[in-house]
Structures are given as structure tokens and as C-alpha cells.
């Protein structure tokens, strides 16, 4: 991942999730919207959500599409 800092993923609903490691931010945009409906500006909070999801849906059990890098 040689210095990549911005990652995004499309949800089945059409929403877009964008994370920026350089700014420690995560935002969720509804399909077709330019305004985020969910925003975190703390690496601690982002990692808490990651850990929660990993506990509920272990990556080795659930197959998922790869995250696209921008």
C-alpha cells in the first residue's frame, strides 16, 4: 500500500464510504449526495468501529469485495 492514504468502498445501497488516513477521518455519503451523513475525525473512533465490525463479521468467515483505493 505504498503511502496510500485515501480509501473508499461502495455499499450495496449505493452509499460511499471514504476514509483518509492522513486526516484520520471517515465519511459516509448517501448515493448521489455531496453531503456526508456520518463523519468521524478520530483514529480512535474509526478503529473502534473497525474492531466492532471485525468481531461481529470476522473477515475469514464473510467474503467481501476488496476496498478500492483512490
Residue at 46 is within a domain = yes
Q: Tell me whether residue 28 is in a domain.
A: yes
| Mean pLDDT, range 6-13, rounded to an integer | 92
Residue 55 lies inside a defined structural domain of this protein: yes
Number of Cβ within a 10 Å radius of residue 29:
19
The answer to whether position 69 is within a domain reads no
Q: How many domains does the chain have?
A: 1
Mean predicted confidence (pLDDT) in 46-69? 83
Whole-structure pTM over 0.85, yes or no?
Answer: no
Q: Evaluate whether 15 touches 28 at the Cβ level (below 8 Å).
A: yes
- What is the per-residue pLDDT for 64? 66
**pLDDT value of position 62:** 78
SS3 37: coil
Look up the domain containing 30 and give its range.
Answer: 6-63
Instruction: Confirm whether 51 is domain-assigned.
Output: yes
Unique residue bearing C-alpha cell 456520518: 38
pLDDT average, residue stretch 31-54: 96
> Distances in Å between the alpha carbon of 67 and those of 9, 10?
5, 8
Amino acid at each position: 500500500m505504498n503511502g496510500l492514504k485515501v480509501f473508499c468502498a461502495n455499499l450495496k445501497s449505493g452509499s460511499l464510504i471514504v476514509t483518509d488516513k492522513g486526516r484520520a477521518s471517515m465519511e459516509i455519503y448517501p448515493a448521489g449526495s455531496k453531503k456526508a451523513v456520518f463523519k468521524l475525525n478520530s483514529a480512535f473512533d474509526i478503529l473502534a468501529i473497525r474492531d466492532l465490525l471485525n468481531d461481529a463479521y470476522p473477515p475469514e468467515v464473510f467474503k467481501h469485495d476488496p476496498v478500492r483505493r483512490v
